[in-house]
Structure 1
Amino acid sequence: MSADFTSLDTLATHLRTELETKKFILLYAYNGTGKTRLSMAFKDIGKQGDTRDTLYFNAFTEDLFTWDNDLAGDSTRVLKMNAASCFFAGLEALEMESRIRPFLHRYVDFDFSIDYAQWTIRFSRDVLVGESTQTIDSIKVSRGEENLFIWCFFLAIVQLAMDGAEAYQWVKYIYIDDPISSLDEHNAIAVGNHLAQFLKRKDHSIKAVISSHHTLFFNVLWNELKEIDKSRKQFAPHFLSHSKKTGEYHLSYSGDTPFFHHLTLLQEIWRAKEAGKIYTHHFNALRSLLEKSSIFHGHKKFTVCIKHQEDDPDETLYSRLVNILSHGNYSFYDPVEMLPENKAHFEKILADFLEFYPFNPELTPESQEQETP
């Protein structure tokens, strides 16, 4: 199942329509595809005057928090909140510190305090000095720690919305775009798992869209949501891509297996081969596919995935071809068609690879020959 959309607005409208029968939509897309702009288009559809229906987390959410590093005194560093945003509506009465801490302490070892009069947040950390513990106040946390704090702040608000808090009764949808841009793989797994626990709740009617470019995070969520909705009636995972040539957005259903980057690479390469539109930059994609496959099998070199040929006793010809042709300065945005000889080498390496590693044939369907009248 797949569909094309001429704009992000039409795609956002489609997602809202899909949520009439689904509870979760999970999107994977590369950076630069338009994930953040899509989240804003989705939000804007539900914003009519002063009314709104989408609580969202994206780069704009992170921008609601800015640092005052006290350049003059270099001592009182605080994270400032944008008091004008409805994101922070009624926070003082909601005891946010006690709501955020249980989430935050899953990931980090620092503490914080909120000054509601000044709309600032101070961070502190206990450190061991000799045999005693001292609290260091007004510290500057790392970018990853800051992102985790903002994420936990958001989760606390999501919890309020799910609990039916008056300040957030307007929330009909939650849209989350790339919450883990600065996290390591351990935290990517932890955040994905923790988010899934939230989504398991059945005592509310809020629906969710989650988009990410992070393969591991996507797969963690895919597996978690699959367990929540074993019938797959409420869960829709998709791969989102954007054509630079036509400007269209392509949404394809990711099927019954979680998305893996190398599978999409394989499909893109195969479609190019079947269409006879193999360009020089496809050697970069082919090498990436070989590297990911070799790593998966525990090898150090991608050359183990290249079939040895009788006319290549030193087993170097095709390895050198891939190595040399994948290091050219080939632009994806200004494609150059391969020379016929290189195209033949490319197709042979790909065919041998697929023969040696039996991928699901549904990923590489043969093109249908047109019947002659």
Structure 2
Amino acid sequence: MNSIRNIKKFTTLSRLVTCLRNDLDSGANNFSLIYAYNGTGKTRLSMEFKEKGKIRRRGNNPTISRDTLYFNAFTEDLFRWDNDLASDTNRKLNLNSDSRFFSGFQELALEEKIYVHLKKYADFDFRIDYQNWAVSFSRIESVKDRGQTEPTTQIVDDIKVSRGEENLFIWCVFLAICELAIDQQEAYDWVKYIYIDDPISSLDENNVIALASDLAKLLRTCEDKIKVVISTHHGLFFNIMNNELKKHKHKCYFLYKNKHTNEYQLQSTGDTPFFYHVAMLKELKDASDANPCRLYTYHFNILRSIMEKTASFFGFEDFSSCVSGIENEALFSRALNLLSHGKYSVYEPQAMGLDNQQLFKNILDAFLQRYPFQLPNIGEVVQPTTSISPQTDTPQEIQT
């Protein structure tokens, strides 16, 4: 069975941005989720989106107005470490105070908002020095001196946090600013769009889940106020955002660049199992095959979601059709029903027990045997050229 999908082609990122903005402005959706591999041009796309919203007014008092609050690699570059190489004691994170990104920091008590988010992910504290526009970090540590029977706690100041912790702090700063924009505080009342590009660099899988769930919760409060675009190469993050926003007006896209024509090609995935699901299956397979095993209870949620999209693609009424007729069909269907109904274990993800690990592996292997998606090797690109036929269970050429 051949599948025909509409693919929009753009010779420039500028034209692609115009399409995305028109779609958001039309009211067709409030959230655009874009999955794309690294090297496609996601960061350049976010900057082009930001530039498209600038209006330059010339004359005696030239001004530039803008409409997009963005998070990407350029945002992270607004924070720069000073490791105090001379004495190695007064370490701090410098802020680029010239950026409009930091408007309203001091006046709007941003520290309180930042800390509310940060305490969910990390165990360190921070202090902002507005005179020098620098952030210092501290952590409470346990110390046991010689002769003491019980350890005591002390605050260690001016610590160097890890790269992952640094990224979490920067992300929490951005979330706090998003809150101000959603509340239409004067310093950020110019924000009409929020563009987020890959906020999960240097984060482990557990923090990715927490971050995605918290972000979706915040974004749901801005629906119809501010339009949002999110681009990512991370399958787990994309899948969670898609699930969290499924009851709201949103569209999912796969973006890739044709190496032969240099065209950007944007494909709406709708409710069909598209290429981010292939990436998700790859992550599930890697977690399943790892030694030691890296399976968590939320992986049942992800596997069921992929099966539901696959069933929808083939016109089946229920995801259980994906395991219909195979050995242990009843057990697999019942297990997915029971073990995927819980919410994501956001803050305390639970590792699967040995029995559930084996059960998960059996279900995943049976699914992949019936629907032999070609899972890429690490770093290998999945090209949008195949689908699976329910009649033959073999790859078929997609006619575009």
One-letter amino acid matched to 1:223: N
Matched, 1:145 2:165: yes
Aligned counterpart in structure 1 of residue 195 of structure 2, from 142, 151, 175: 175
Task: List aligned pairs for 1:29-108, cutoff 5 A.
Answer: 29-49=36-56, 50-108=64-122
Residue 235 of structure 1 aligns with an amino acid whose one-letter code is H
1:252 to 246, 262, 267: 267
Residue by residue, what CA displacement relative to the aligned partner does 1:280-334 show, whole Å, maximum 9, x if unpaired? xxxxxxxx89x769958727xx9x9789xxxxxxxxxxxxxx9xxx99xxx99xx
The separation in 2 between residues aligned to 1:166 and 1:89, in whole angstroms, is 10
Report the Cα distance in structure 1 between the residues aligned to 2:88 and 2:134, rounded to whole angstroms: 16
Partner of 2:213: 193
Per the alignment, residue 12 of structure 1 pairs with 17
User: For residues 201 and 259 of structure 1, do their structure 2 counterparts lie closer, same or farther at Cα, with a shift above 3 Å needed?
Assistant: farther
Counterpart position of 2:184: 164
| Aligned residues of 1:215 and 1:260 also touching (Cα < 8 A) | no
Q: SS at the partner of 2:200? A: coil
Hey, what does 2:278 align to over in structure 1? 263
Q: Is the 8 A contact 1:222 1:258 kept in 2?
A: no
Residues 113-124 of structure 1: pairs in structure 2 closer than 5 A? 113-124=127-138
CA distance in 2, matches of 1:176, 1:355: 37
> Are the equivalent residues in 1 in contact too, given 2:251–2:270 (CA < 8 A)?
no
Secondary structure in 2 matching 1:152: helix
Unaligned runs of 5+ in 1: 267-287, 308-321, 333-349, 369-373
Whether the 8 Å contact between 1:219 and 1:259 is mirrored in structure 2 is: no
1:235 alignment partner in structure 2 = 250
The more displaced of 125-134 and 74-83 is 125-134
In the TM superposition, residue 263 of structure 1 has moved relative to its aligned partner by 3.3
TM-score between the two structures when normalised by the length of structure 2: 0.68
Q: Distance in 2 between matches of 1:258 and 1:306?
A: 16
In structure 2, distance between residues paired with 1:59 and 1:149:
14
C-alpha distance in 2, partners of 1:109/1:124? 9
How has the CA–CA distance of structure 1 residues 83 and 357 changed in structure 2, closer, same or farther, with 3 Å as cutoff?
Answer: farther
CA distance in 2, matches of 1:166, 1:122: 28
Distance in 1 separating the partners of 2:243 and 2:70: 23
Any idea what the Cα deviations from partners look like across 1:175-217, whole Å, max 9, x if unmatched? 0000001111111111110000011115761110001000000
Quick one: which amino acid aligns to residue 11 of structure 1?
A: L
Q: CA deviation at 1:103?
A: 0.3
C-alpha distance in 1 between matches for 2:12 and 2:280: 24
Counterpart position of 1:221: 241
Partners of 1:241 and 1:74 lie apart in 2 by 45
Which amino acid is 1:10 matched to? R
Q: Any conservation in 1 of the 2:254–2:268 contact (CA below 8 Å)? A: yes
Contact kept? 1:178, 1:212, Cα under 8 Å: yes
- Give distance in 2, aligned partners of 1:194 and 1:64: 23
Structure having the higher Rg: 1
Letter of the 1:107 partner, please give it.
Answer: Y
SS where residue 139 of structure 2 aligns? strand
2: CA distance between counterparts of 1:166 and 1:366?
50
1:298 aligned partner, one-letter code: K
